[in-house]
Chain A
Amino acid sequence: DTEVTQTPKHLVMGMTNKKSLKCEQHMGHRAMYWYKQKAKKPPELMFVYSYEKLSINESVPSRFSPECPNSSLLNLHLHALQPEDSALYLCASSVRDRDLRGYTFGSGTRLTVV
């Protein structure tokens, strides 16, 4: 298995809702990443997990809460989002955070906040 799987592919949520994005990989990668991509813009790094521990938080608002329950799974919990948070959320993984082999992206979750 050489894929990063993200679910759901599309999500529409209200500003008062709580939802979660899920990312899964079974390649034995020990670094996992969340990126946010607005339309016609490059991806921007949000969080990095290394060996299931949060190593980077790029000043992301607390309404985004990451979680790495095990080495194969990465979640992004969403609460009280704003319409400007609508974007494509991309998950990626790599062998380790200082090893570029096999840097793999998922297809993303397209989030719309209404």
Chain B
Amino acid sequence: KQEVTQIPAALSVPEGENLVLNCSFTDSAIYNLQWFRQDPGKGLTSLLLIQSSQREQTSGRLNASLDKSSGRSTLYIAASQPGDSATYLCAPDQTGANNLFFGTGTRLTVIP
């Protein structure tokens, strides 16, 4: 069974800092990987999708990379803002059928 670990579990940074969130997964046979954010008590918002053939994707201040062979993905957030405070979840898709298996999450707090 796929195991997905995210490090760190929690992170607190001052506003304006660049930061990196890490995701590792045990089974590298994935079709793609998504990064989501979740605000407290809310649903999830899809941030970035990386297909298995890609190495990175960018959206605004966010950049996600994927090293499938080593079972790792990172989410880079540039110039962090208080509005970025949320839990960030990575989710590899092993089946190609869009059945996501979520990581443990990183709870980010950006201090004004």
Contacts and interface: CB of A to CB of B under 8 A. Distances in A.
Given A42-B104, A42-B105, A103-B34, A48 B99 contact: yes
Contacts of B44: 43, 90, 92, 105
Contact of B49 (A33, A96, A100): A100
Contacts of B105: 42
Given A48-B99, A96-B98, A100-B93, 5 more contacts: A6-B43, A43-B89, A55-B97, A97-B97, A105-B45
B45 A31 contact: no
A98 B101 contact: no
Given A100-B34, A100-B49, A103-B34, A31 B43 contact: no
Contacts of B46: 103-105
Interface in B81-102: 89, 93, 96-102
B42 interface: yes
The 7 closest A-B pairs by CB, nearest first: A42-B102, A105-B43, A105-B44, A107-B43, A97-B97, A97-B98, A106-B43
Interface string A25-60: 000000101000000011111001000000110000
B41 interface: yes
A90 to B, nearest CB: 6
- Main SS of chain A's interface residues? strand
A55 B42 CA distance: 26
A98 B98 contact: yes
Contacts of B104: 41-42
Contact of B98 (A6, A100, A106): A100
B54 to A, nearest CB: 12
B32 interface: yes
Contacts of B89: 42-43
B32 to A, nearest CB: 6
A16 to B, nearest CB: 27
A90 B104 CA distance: 17
A110 interface: yes
Nearest to A105: B43
